[in-house]
Every structure is written in structure tokens, then in C-alpha cells.
Amino acid sequence: MLSAWNIDASQFNGDWSFADKAQFWLRYAALAPSAHNNQPWRCAIGEDYLDIYIDLRYTPRTGTLRQTLISIGAFIENFIQAAAAFGYEFVVTDIPMSVKREDRVARLQLVGSTDEPVAKHRLEAIMSRHTNRGLYKATQLAPSIITALDDLELEQRVIAISLQDSQSKERVAALVDKGVYIALSLPPLRRELSDFVFYQREGSCYGLQVESMVQDPPQAESGKQWTLKLMNAKAEAQFSRKKFASAPVLTVLCTETDSPAIWVSTGQSMQRIFLAAASYGLCHCVSAAPIEIPVLTPVLKSILETKLRPQVLYRIGEPVNSEFTIPSPRRKVDDLL
Ligand SMILES: Cc1cc2nc3c(=O)[nH]c(=O)nc-3n(C[C@H](O)[C@H](O)[C@H](O)COP(=O)(O)O)c2cc1C
């Protein structure tokens, strides 16, 4: 659960079997962000490769495959970066053109290794990256950080469009407001969300902690009850608007096409940016609603002045309240295999 965030890199032993090494890297992979923190990944370790599948036990019925595969892309990025930190190089192969929910999503193939010393800073970024759903300081990020994030090499065919001017941010924030309001007002969506919300005291190994969604939350019998009975759609939506309008930078990752492979690439690119941002002490917060609610996506495209397909929208910044950066629970590696 929360102990998943404490990984001691010095426990790694280069003499281990491939399977033992892969299980160690999977501990880092498991710290990837996912929609609803549902951790929709399942793995099978081969002779010198790792196969990744969707774990249907943790995939919401109404959630889109896009959200699931972006999350799996982030998981892949963490695995590749963790293995690289120990000197092992993997490449992604075999992403099918059309993934059904039961299919293998990707294979990560080991292609080489070196004796370089362990790159600890890369592992630290994986362990220090967290979502923070509070307000971010409105002051602009340092130009050197903006440049470093802009210069990151993303996966092929993924393009980042960032907005820093108040007018565009305000327009995107208004869409977030609408999207959150719609998502929380539709009973099936609210019920589905409620299956993934828990108070910390409930000790779930997946899902969203009420404490990471609202500061000083009112007490209810369970996270499910809080979501169904106490969460106020209008207030949440309006506060989300304020948080997106005041963040120093909003970014949308876009692509020309829309396919399972491109969703995985988007997730990898997103996670690469989040890890780089984390290494500067910055947090991030995704909002899926303007991407997934069909009437809102064309408006987002017109704000971005692009014909590309928006895939993921997030804000990045320095939290006003760093105590609200709360690590979220994770399933154990045994449960992923
Ligand atoms: C594809 C995707 C969509 C997400 N959508 C939302 C969202 O709409 N609202 C939100 O507050 N967080 C969203 N998140 C953030 C997750 O809830 C968060 O990653 C998860 O709870 C794990 O927490 P962590 O990022 O701190 O490890 C999303 C994350 C991903 C990868």
C-alpha cells in the first residue's frame, strides 16, 4: 500500500535472475499514475521480456480504453526508466493496432545492459512524483524549467501544447468546470467513481483517497458514501475551474491519430514530463473530463487552435499546500503477476 513508495535501490543485485530483476523494476513501474488510481496493469515475465495486459478486475466498465492505455503507458515509462537507471535497456514492441480488453497491450524486450553506476536521481523522480489536487502558486515557472520541459524528447507523434496566457487558461478552466460538473452529475459515472474512493482508514490498495481529493474532508461511513452523498458537483467543478485558471501552465498532449498504440505513447510521454517536473519539485494534476466528454473536446481543440486530437490535459506547478501532496496506495507486485 503506502509502503510501496519506499524502495531501497541498494537491495538490487545484478546477479539475480531476469525474473527477480524484473520484479524489482516492477515496484517502480507500479508507482505510475492511473485514472482513478485503478492500476489497470497485469504482467507476465518471460525469459528476457515483460508482457503487459489490462487487468480487467480494476478497469471500470464505463471508463474508456484511452484512459486505461495512457495509464499503462505511464507504467511502461516507469519500468523502462527504472531498468535504465540500473543499466538495462528495454524497448517497447508489439502494440497491436486494435487492442481488445483481453489482449496483450505490449511487450517490453530487453535489448542490452551496461555497467554504469545506478542513476539514483532517475529513481528518486519516480518515487517523488505525486498528483496534488490543491491550488498551485500562480507565479510563472522559472524559464529554465519551462525550457527543460519543452525540450524533452517525447514519443514519436505526440505533441505537447502548453498554455501560459491567462485568457487561454481561463477558457480551458471553464471547460474543466463544465466537464467535472457533468461527470459528477451523471448517476452512473458518480456510482462508478464511488467504487474507487476510500478514506485512508479503509486501507484500500487501489483507488482515490478522500483526503487527497479535498482538504479536511467531512467524515462519512466510507469513501463510497462520501462520493455518493456528500460530494458537491457544483462546488467541485467551480473549485477545479479556479485551480486550472490559476496554475502557471496547462498542457495538452495531442496526436494526429487515435489508436491504442498512440494512447500508450501518450502515457509514456506524459510520464516523462511528470518525472522531469518532479525532479524540479513540481506536482501535476490531470483532468480527464474535457478529453472524454464528446461535446467538450471540439471546444478544447478550438482553444488550442489545433486539428490534432487532444489526449490528456494537466496542470503543473508548485503546490500552495505541499502537505496536500499525499502518496496514494499501490497494489503489491505479487498481485500484478
Ligand atoms: C489517464 C489519467 C487520467 C486521470 N484523470 C484524473 C482526473 O480527471 N481528475 C483527477 O483528479 N485526477 C486524475 N488523474 C490522476 C489520478 O487520479 C492519480 O494519478 C492517481 O490517483 C494516483 O495518484 P498519484 O498520481 O499521486 O500517484 C488521472 C491520471 C491518469 C493517468
Where are the chain's structural domains? 2-129
**pLDDT recorded at residue 1:** 66
37-74: b (≥16 Cβ within 10 Å) or e: bbbbbbbebeeebbbbbbbeebbbeebebbbbbbbbbb
Does the C-beta of 132 come closer than 6 Å to ligand 1? no
The CATH number for 2-129, chosen from 3.90.320.10, 3.40.640.10, 3.30.930.10, 3.40.109.30, is 3.40.109.30
| C-alpha span between 321 and 194 (Å, rounded) | 26
> Which run of H or E residues covers position 105?
strand 104-113
Point out which residues pair with 253 in neighbouring strands: 160, 312
**pLDDT recorded at residue 56:** 83
Phi, psi of 26 (to 5 degrees): -65, -25
Does the C-beta of 183 come closer than 6 Å to ligand 1? no
**pLDDT recorded at residue 62:** 64
Does the C-beta of 288 come closer than 6 Å to ligand 1? yes
**pLDDT recorded at residue 116:** 87
**pLDDT recorded at residue 15:** 95
State pLDDT tens for residues 21-35: 999 999 999 999 999
| C-alpha span between 179 and 176 (Å, rounded) | 5
Q: What is the pTM of this model?
A: 0.97
- Please identify, by atom number, the ligand 1 atom nearest to the C-alpha of residue 67: 1
> Which run of H or E residues covers position 292?
helix 289-292
Confidence of residue 59 (pLDDT cuts 50, 70, 90): confident
pLDDT at 60 over 80: no
State pLDDT tens for residues 181-233: 999 999 999 999 999 999 999 999 999 999 999 988 999 999 999 999 999 99
pLDDT at 304 over 80: yes
Does the C-beta of 328 come closer than 6 Å to ligand 1? yes
